[in-house]
Amino acid sequence: MNESTCRACGKPIIWMKTKAGRTMPCDARLQLYWQSDEGSQRILTHAGELKRCELHGIPEEASGMGRTPHWGSCAQPDQFRKRGKANEPGRV
Ligand SMILES: [Zn+2]
């Protein structure tokens, strides 16, 4: 795993590979997650799957541990949004 530091906010992040082969900046801290179809959060599991979930719940009922994508907690998430979309026509 690639430990790194976010250039935007200076927090420790880890680059994780998704099943699709993309690398995704995630918060370094492992978190418990509760898988839920209506979950408001996303978590990247060790299997590389991005799952919809909640990050709070009853510990005994947790689905497992994973890492949250860093753009959810970054102090400057715009840094992530700009990349990739900047070249799309018609977008600011
Ligand atoms: Zn950041």
State in Å: Cα 48 to ligand 1 middle: 21
CB atoms within 10 A of CB 90: 4
> What is the reported pTM?
0.77
H or E stretch at 84: helix 78-85
Q: Which tokens go with 39?
A: 């979950």
Question: Quick one: pLDDT band at residue 58, thresholds 50, 70, 90?
Answer: very high
State in Å: Cα 23 to ligand 1 middle: 15
Per-residue pLDDT, 87 = 46
Q: Residue 53 is part of which domain span?
A: 2-74
* Segment 17-56, tens digit of pLDDT: 999 999 999 999 999 999 999 999 999 999 999 999 999 9
State in Å: Cα 75 to ligand 1 middle: 6
Do 35 and 51 form a contact (C-beta atoms < 8 A)?
Answer: yes
Per-residue pLDDT, 91 = 45
| Mean pLDDT of the region 62-76 | 92
Residue at 90 is within a domain: no
State in Å: Cα 67 to ligand 1 middle: 14
Total count of domains within the chain? 1
Question: Quick one: pLDDT band at residue 61, thresholds 50, 70, 90?
Answer: very high
State in Å: Cα 45 to ligand 1 middle: 20
H or E stretch at 51: strand 50-54
